[in-house]
Amino acid sequence: MDITILVIKILGVYLVVSGLFLIIKGKTIPHLLKDFFDHPAIVYLTGIILIFLSSMYLIQYNIWNGTWQVLVTIFAWIVMLKGLAYIFVPQLLSEASIKKSRSLFGVYGVVAIAIGLYLFFLK
């Protein structure tokens, strides 16, 4: 199995599970995020892990050929940017995720499930 197909399948499962969690347990998200951002070392390590994983993929498979594989590359770049944000501007992420998007968790959940199913059944 091509690594890009494997990554897109794993990403699809992750998005479906995350979307279901957002819909079913959306009220607990602000508490989880507050606890997460109250521990700077964990936020920093999360950023490092995200940068490490996205770098591993991007070094091998930075694909811009106009096919569905570009979706994985775009996602890897977004993960890289999120990792950098966790390290350099965690307070900005904290404010954006806890305060401003509280009412949209259900919508995010439905969108995540739709994208996850699309990616999982792609190719």
Residue 98 in tokens = 């806890």
Q: Report the pLDDT value the prediction gives residue 68, as an integer from 0 to 100.
A: 82
Q: How far apart are CA 106 and CA 100, in angstroms?
A: 14
Is 11:119 a contact under the CB 8 Å cutoff?
Answer: yes
User: For the packed helices 29-37 and 40-61, what is the interaxial angle rounded to 10 degrees?
Assistant: 100
Q: How far apart are CA 23 and CA 60, in angstroms?
A: 35
Average pLDDT score over residue span 29-54:
94
pTM score of the predicted model: 0.82
Q: How far apart are CA 34 and CA 26, in angstroms?
A: 14
Rounded to the nearest integer, the mean pLDDT of the chain is: 90
Structural domain count of the chain: 1
Domain span holding position 85: 3-120
- In this predicted model, what pLDDT tens digit does every residue of 64-116 receive, in sequence order? 998 888 888 999 999 999 999 999 999 998 887 776 666 788 899 999 999 99
What residue type is assigned to position 56 of the chain?
M
Q: Report the pLDDT value the prediction gives residue 101, as an integer from 0 to 100.
A: 66
CA-nearest of 63, 75, 73 to 14 is 75
User: For the packed helices 105-120 and 3-24, what is the interaxial angle rounded to 10 degrees?
Assistant: 150
Q: Is the pLDDT of residue 119 over 60?
A: yes
